[in-house]
């Protein structure tokens, strides 16, 4: 069984009772199919950079507050979703 970055992040977060984050978290992730299909490269870059900034804010808040439970911030739809994730453990 092959394990990509996304699957590894989820497994590690569950093992260490932490959280995992998509770099394009909700609600921005709902725009992903549209941006991928219709946006030009520079616009796609801006979209992903915005997602990274939003995810970093979520991670900073999670570190500040601690992780209340080992549940994920969202349910993975499949192992082929974007593999770029960050995870935190409880402080």
* Inside any domain, residue 40: yes
Among 60, 87, 66, 83, which Cα is nearest to 3's? 83
How is 9-67 classified by DSSP, letter by letter? HHHHHHHTT-EEEESS-TTGGGGHHHHHHH--HHHHHHHHHHHHHHHHHHHHHHHHH--
pLDDT at 38: 96
* Inside any domain, residue 19: no
* Inside any domain, residue 56: yes
Residues 27-53 have pLDDT tens digits of 888 898 999 999 999 999 999 999 889
Q: How many structural domains is the chain composed of?
A: 1
Domain that holds residue 71: 5-9+27-88
Q: Show the low-confidence residues of the chain (pLDDT under 70).
A: 1-3, 67-91
* Inside any domain, residue 41: yes
pLDDT at 66: 78
pLDDT at 76: 45
Predicted structure pTM score: 0.56
* Inside any domain, residue 16: no
């Amino acid at each position: 069984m092959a394990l990509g970055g996304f699957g590894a992040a989820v497994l590690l977060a569950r093992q260490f009772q932490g959280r995992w984050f998509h770099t394009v978290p909700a609600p921005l992730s709902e725009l992903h199919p549209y941006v991928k299909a219709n946006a030009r490269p520079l616009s796609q870059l801006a979209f992903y950079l915005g997602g990274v900034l939003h995810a970093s804010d979520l991670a900073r808040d999670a570190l500040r507050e601690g992780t209340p439970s080992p549940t994920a911030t969202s349910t993975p739809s499949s192992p082929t979703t974007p593999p770029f994730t960050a995870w935190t453990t409880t402080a």
